Amino acid sequence: MGKHLVTLCTIQWADIPFDELCTLAKKMGYDGLEVACWGNGIDVDRAISDESYVNWMKENLKKNGLVMTALAVHIIGQCVGDDPDPRLNNFAPSALANNPEAIRQWAIDTMMKVPVVAAKFGVHVVTGFTGSPIWKYMYSFPQTTEEMIEAGFNRIVELWTPILDVFKKCDVKFALEVHPGEIAFDYYSTKRLLAKFADRKEFGLNFDPSHLIWQGIKPHLFLNDFIDRVYHVHMKDAAVTLDGRSGILGSHIDFGDLRRGWNFRSLGHGDVNFEEIIRVLNAYGYDGPLSVEWEDSGMDRIDGATEAAAFVRRVDFKPSAVKFDKAISNK
């Protein structure tokens, strides 16, 4: 038995009514929830104005013996930093469809409400995305200048600074999930972004190894180097299955297709070395939750998420309280 709470990220479960999901999460073996702010998760505007709604959610958590440890705002945050993109219509209110600046303003306004809502639930960490105006420049052709990249990072700082001001005021931290499509998507882009936000300790990271492993990054090394800004941890796995035909960029083939060069997998069924991750977390005294973000297109989600909760408890060993060789010393 480990020392961390095992929680379920509800991003992939927001289709289930919240009261039913609380019951299901407890049955699957979870201690708490990282609650998505869309679908049947938290309605940010309603939570701002309706205390009975907030209390109803708290009561459902309590009666199922669950705690809320974080809010997840990935699709809202994406709309803050992205350049105009028709795919954002899927994330924003339908009335704003095809109006990029209205979508961005909705996202900024909503993100400023999120830390206020988090405080109502006694939550001090919000996970999510920032978006990126330069993700389209990932490959440097047509030619991409350093000035274009720098302008993209500065644009994110400009857009997120007033949002982070509210987070700081509410004593809530924003934890970016380093992820393709974000301004920080790998080791060195993360290092560059954190340098931009060096004086904003309310801005940190949601460590998710599944987005690093397929890029060739060793997740435990990333975790070790950025541990002082890691405010939340996702437990998520992925398997790289390059076969000589498949490519690491996915070939525009949907997740789950066996032709892809990599896919997300249920915990323990991929290539992530979770023992090394736990060792780093223990070495630095991380005391936050281990939140299962369950994604596996080839497995039933209830069976998979139940197995995943048990997997986390097995791998989450406690650090030693004594020096192992103390008993053989005369002093």
State pLDDT tens for residues 137-176. Answer: 999 999 999 999 999 999 999 999 999 999 999 999 999 9
Nearest to 42 by CA among 62, 72, 63, 21: 72
Question: Is pLDDT at 203 greater than 50 in this prediction?
Answer: yes
Domains of the chain from N-terminus onward: 6-328 (3.20.20.150)
Q: What is the pTM of this model?
A: 0.96
State pLDDT tens for residues 260-284. Answer: 999 999 999 999 999 999 999 999 9
The mean pLDDT value for 247-257 works out to 96
pLDDT of amino acid 330? 66
Averaged pLDDT of the chain: 96
**Cα–Cα distance, 142 to 156 (Å, whole number):** 22
Tell me what percent of the residues of the chain surpass a pLDDT of 70.
98
Residue indicated by tokens 């991409």? 144
Pairing assessment for the beta strands 262-265 and 237-240 based on DSSP bridges = antiparallel
pLDDT of amino acid 320? 82
**Which residues, at least 6 apart from 53, have a Cβ–Cβ distance to it below 8 Å?**
43, 46, 47
Tell me what percent of the residues of the chain surpass a pLDDT of 90.
95
N-to-C CA span, the chain: 32
Give the number of residues written for the chain. Answer: 331
Question: Is pLDDT at 1 greater than 50 in this prediction?
Answer: no
Q: With bands split at pLDDT 50, 70 and 90, how would you rate the model's confidence at 323?
A: confident
**Which residues, at least 6 apart from 78, have a Cβ–Cβ distance to it below 8 Å?**
88, 91, 107, 129, 130, 131, 181
DSSP 180-193: TTSS--SHHHHHHH
Q: How many CB atoms lie within 10 A of CB 220?
A: 21
pLDDT of amino acid 331? 64
Strand partners, 292: 8, 235
Residue indicated by tokens 């369950």? 294
Question: Is pLDDT at 14 greater than 80 in this prediction?
Answer: yes
State pLDDT tens for residues 82-102. Answer: 999 999 999 999 999 999 999
Phi–psi pair at 155, nearest 5 degrees: -65, -40
Question: Is pLDDT at 200 greater than 60 in this prediction?
Answer: yes
